[in-house]
């Protein structure tokens, strides 16, 4: 199965299945000499893990990981980092009823037709369980970016029709103060109530996550096929259940005139910046030094505890009813995944940028 590797210089390959022995990642290109903070990696995994609140799947995984290579005396060695998490709370029997059936909006049909075989236990490789490996790699990338003064903060800004008012001043330190990960308490309460009601109906609901990247240097990215926002878009769209990505003004730019949308430059104390940030911190595919801002849209989780019409592998009409433990809304646990994928893209392109100019290479 191709397509399990992401990145150019900071490159990761993930492996494992939802109901296999475990999930893991090999990170190639992590610079040597990093004092690896394992507690930070574990904390990020706790933000993503199942069973953390009443509004997420009740599967219980403690997410303890084992570093197999790439670290000596607490520091990265520059050789490949291999990290593994053993699965502990699989209930494969919960999926025996769909071993020959195709669940609506799942990867069952497409995987079966592409590979001629599929692991029906929790979706196998198509399960969001795989994203635990991404969070590990992202947490390590964040440790490097933090040393550069770059900070990444994502939060839930919409669930169903309940949307966070963008004019409300936000305190990013409050993101994890509630189980929905929305920094506004009043909006968070409404979101939690909606998800709880949807869960009681045996249904699911979609949502959106906003991400802000601050402290960005100017000049990161590339002007044609490897535009920074194109790379961020690919990263976000590779996350399970993601259906949309918009940078800066996004689709809102459609209703604006150029005179309204253009970000005018200004020079304050020798630093050039823009008065507005409709560009979302990226112009011509390259960072302009302003905060990078984008939104990621997530569909309702495909597994619902209701009967749905479908077909089996022979094409016969059948009924599928969801069983087991599933998220009624994916966005609370997706926040650290969005941050992790963003961190890997930014670090990868910073490393690439170091090889762009001759004076950077020869120290002039």
Q: Check which CATH number belongs to the domain holding 34 and give it.
A: 3.60.150.10
Mean pLDDT score of the chain, rounded to an integer?
A: 92
User: What pLDDT, on the 0 to 100 scale, is given for residue 324?
Assistant: 63
User: What pLDDT, on the 0 to 100 scale, is given for residue 270?
Assistant: 93
User: Token pair for residue 40?
Assistant: 């930070």
How many distinct structural domains can be found in the chain?
Answer: 1
**In 129-164, which positions are buried (b, 16+ CB within 10 angstroms) versus exposed (e)?**
bbbbbbbbbbbbbbbbbeeeebbbbbbbbbbbebeb
| Predicted TM-score (pTM) of this structure | 0.94
Domain span including residue 143: 5-362
User: What pLDDT, on the 0 to 100 scale, is given for residue 99?
Assistant: 81
How far is Cα 328 from Cα 195, in angstroms, rounded to an integer?
A: 7
User: What pLDDT, on the 0 to 100 scale, is given for residue 346?
Assistant: 98
Q: What is the pLDDT along the chain (364 residues), one digit of tens a residue?
A: 578 999 999 999 999 988 888 999 999 999 999 999 999 999 999 999 887 888 887 767 788 999 999 999 999 999 999 999 998 865 555 667 778 888 888 888 888 888 888 887 767 788 888 999 999 999 999 999 999 999 999 999 999 999 999 899 999 999 999 999 999 999 999 999 999 999 999 999 999 999 999 999 999 999 999 999 999 999 999 999 999 999 999 999 999 999 999 999 999 999 999 999 999 999 999 999 999 999 999 999 988 888 889 998 889 999 887 766 678 999 999 999 999 999 999 999 999 999 887 777 777 6
- Dihedral sign, Cα of residue 236, residue 237, residue 243, residue 246: positive
């Amino acid at each position: 199965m191709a397509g399990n590797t992401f990145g150019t210089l900071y490159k990761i390959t993930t492996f494992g299945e939802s109901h296999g022995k475990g999930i893991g990642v090999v990170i190639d290109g992590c610079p040597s000499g990093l004092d690896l903070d394992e507690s930070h990696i574990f904390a990020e995994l706790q933000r993503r893990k199942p069973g953390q609140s009443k509004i997420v799947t009740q599967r219980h995984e403690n997410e303890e990981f084992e570093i197999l290579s790439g670290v000596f005396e607490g520091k990265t060695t520059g050789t490949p980092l291999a990290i593994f998490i053993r699965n502990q709370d699989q209930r494969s029997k919960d999926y025996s009823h769909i071993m020959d059936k195709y669940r609506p909006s799942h990867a069952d049909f497409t995987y079966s037709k592409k590979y001629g075989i599929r692991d029906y236990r929790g979706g196998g490789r198509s399960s969001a369980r795989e994203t635990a490996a991404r969070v590990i790699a992202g947490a390590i990338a964040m440790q490097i970016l933090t040393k550069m003064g770059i900070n990444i903060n994502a939060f839930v800004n919409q669930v169903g029709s309940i949307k966070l008012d963008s004019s409300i001043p936000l305190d990013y330190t409050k993101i994890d103060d509630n189980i929905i990960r929305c920094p506004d308490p009043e909006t968070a309460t409404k979101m939690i109530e909606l998800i709880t009601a949807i869960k009681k109906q045996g249904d699911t609901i979609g949502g959106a996550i906003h991400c802000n990247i601050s402290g960005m240097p100017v000049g990161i990215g590339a002007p044609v096929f490897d535009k920074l926002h194109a790379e961020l878009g690919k990263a976000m769209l590779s996350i399970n259940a993601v259906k949309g990505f918009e940078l800066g003004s996004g689709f809102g730019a459609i209703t604006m005139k150029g005179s309204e949308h253009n970000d005018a430059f200004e020079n304050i104390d020798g630093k050039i910046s823009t008065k507005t940030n409709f560009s979302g911190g990226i112009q011509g595919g390259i960072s302009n030094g302003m905060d990078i801002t984008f939104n990621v849209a997530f569909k309702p989780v495909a597994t619902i505890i209701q009967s749905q019409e479908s077909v089996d592998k022979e094409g016969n009409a059948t009924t599928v009813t969801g069983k087991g433990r599933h998220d009624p809304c994916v966005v609370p646990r997706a926040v650290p995944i969005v941050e992790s994928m963003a961190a890997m893209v930014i670090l990868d392109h910073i490393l690439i940028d170091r090889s762009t100019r001759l004076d950077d290479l020869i120290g002039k």
